[in-house]
Amino acid sequence: MRKKIYYYIIFLLSAYVISCSDDGPGSDGNPDGPNPIPTDELVFPKKEMRAVWITTAWGLDWPMTQYGVEAQKNQYIQYLDKFKELNINTVIFQVKPMGDAFYNSPYEPWSLSITGIRGKDPGYDVLQFLIEETHKRDMEFHAWMNPYRIATRANNGTAYPTLHASVKPEWVVSHEKIQIYNPALPEVRQRLADIVKDLITKYDVDGIHFDDYFYPDPSSAGAMVSDVSDYQKYGTAYSSIEDFRRANVDIAIKDVHGVIATNKPEIVFTVSPAADPKYSLNTLFADVAKWCKEGWIDVVMPQLYQEIGNSSNDFQERLNWWTQYNHTAVPMIGHALYKFGDGTSPSAFQSTLELQRQFDLSRRNKKVMGNAMYSGRFILSNPIGITNKLAEIYKTPAVIPFLGREVAPAPTKPQNVKIENGQLTWNKQGNVRSVIYHFPDIKKEGIVLSITDQTSFPITAKGYYCVTNINTDNKESDPSEIVKNGI
């Protein structure tokens, strides 16, 4: 009897030792058995749209007077390959810079910048090529449009170009240095909405983007043509001509939002106003805070092009203002990449530390969900090593946040996540991509390793892993079960 009891005690002790061994459930990359680590204990990295503006007005970023088809294609691919290397995930490409178009439009002529001749067909579908190459690299393509500008000139001694056949001369105002569609006219607002509808129904763009040009700034437009007659005809409901001008732009923005929401609601509508809200409101007559409050824009991307501590347009002060009055719009921050290393720029821009400090401020702000660099050519030229600094800041990929309206089916979380033979594998369903997260320590912020169409990924680092799925709206599923490697 004593011998039986002795062996029974030995058996219990052995079972206890085995149960405490590091070789128990989960140590080989499977979930942690009966007590898995809750995913809500993990610190996921912040989602970010990482954008670059590509300017085509005057051919500044593209195509830089390159008029051959292959040269243009190669130049754009060079941009994209560099952006992909830097983990940039969005291109904001100017498709309507000067009352013209980078696609075959019934409303506006082919851009001068493409062939050197306004209205000349370049012989290929420029916009389709740009979109396909961008999407091929899993980046978003946002179509940047200037709503009113038709042309610019140095003075009255130069004639403006001939208007497109579809444009009635009475829709146009020719100031001394800038020619624009008249914002006061209902026909002009309808035309703008029609142009947007035409583009989004013909091309698979991910966003429509307006910059900061609305009513022209008198300081740069030269002698201005009076709009008193417009106010007298259309503005009886407004107490001042300034309120009338703001209302004209309000209606245009609201109409564009309506066209997007009705015809292709998955498209994101973004506006990048000037940094100073009073300048936007009282000089350009753009009440951007109102557009945010009314839900007429999805993203507000102020151009915070001055340095931290600037006496009149301090980066930090403007950041605080725009994130206080963003309302329903998601704030993202525009940075002046072009100023770095420029001898005419303030001393702060002679060091890449300024960009790091700006990113530190924007990333600490919980509302900010991305950044945009102005502009593409400075990423390639890398003045004072600014692109190298951007590579440090963007050293791992980022997930673009959900920004617009839900259209695609909601993604379900990945199933059967496991590690076998150095491969993280999982199952997924639907038209989704998968995001692979790595957490060296469950108490520290993780990183995105990859955003992929595949269902496996090679891993070597020790730590914890989980996977999510994102759909075409950038809506992300709940995270999968956590698996661990080598711990």
Residue 455 belongs to domain with CATH number: 2.60.40.10
Residue 350 placed within a domain: yes
CATH number at residue 334: 3.20.20.80
Alpha carbons 108 and 104: distance in angstroms, whole number: 8
- The bridge status of strand 456-458 relative to strand 423-427 is antiparallel
* Collapsed DSSP state (helix, strand, coil) of residue 291: helix
Boundary of a domain, candidates 393, 426, 456: 393
CB distance 344 to 308 below 8 Å? no
- Which one-letter amino acid corresponds to residue 99? G
- The bridge status of strand 178-181 relative to strand 149-152 is antiparallel
User: 452 and 328, same structural domain?
Assistant: no
User: 434 and 329, same structural domain?
Assistant: no
User: 112 and 250, same structural domain?
Assistant: yes
Q: Which H or E run includes 465?
A: strand 463-470
User: 323 and 461, same structural domain?
Assistant: no
User: 36 and 94, same structural domain?
Assistant: no
- The bridge status of strand 433-439 relative to strand 370-374 is unpaired
Residue 225 placed within a domain: yes
User: 236 and 358, same structural domain?
Assistant: yes
User: 377 and 448, same structural domain?
Assistant: no
Structure tokens at 121: 């067909």
User: 142 and 196, same structural domain?
Assistant: yes
Residue 75 placed within a domain: yes
CB distance 85 to 98 below 8 Å? no
Provide the number of structural domains found in the chain: 2
Residue 17 placed within a domain: no
Per-residue confidence band for 387, with pLDDT thresholds at 50, 70 and 90: very high
User: 242 and 187, same structural domain?
Assistant: yes
pLDDT at 25: 32
Give the pTM: 0.92
The closest of 295, 311, 225, 202 to 253, measured between CA atoms, is 295
Residue 10 placed within a domain: no
The closest of 302, 248, 299, 249 to 269, measured between CA atoms, is 299
Alpha carbons 389 and 373: distance in angstroms, whole number: 13
Residue 3 placed within a domain: no
Residue 312 makes CB contacts below 8 A (sequence gap 6+) with 306
pLDDT at position 7 over 50: no
Alpha carbons 435 and 343: distance in angstroms, whole number: 42
Per-residue pLDDT tens for 100-145? 999 999 999 999 999 999 999 999 999 999 999 999 999 999 999 9
CB distance 323 to 345 below 8 Å? no
User: 321 and 299, same structural domain?
Assistant: yes
Residue 371 placed within a domain: yes
User: 297 and 446, same structural domain?
Assistant: no
Residue 242 placed within a domain: yes
Percentage of the chain modeled with pLDDT above 90: 90
pLDDT at 357: 98
User: 228 and 203, same structural domain?
Assistant: yes
Residue 414's domain comprises 28-45+409-485
The closest of 66, 60, 57 to 381, measured between CA atoms, is 60
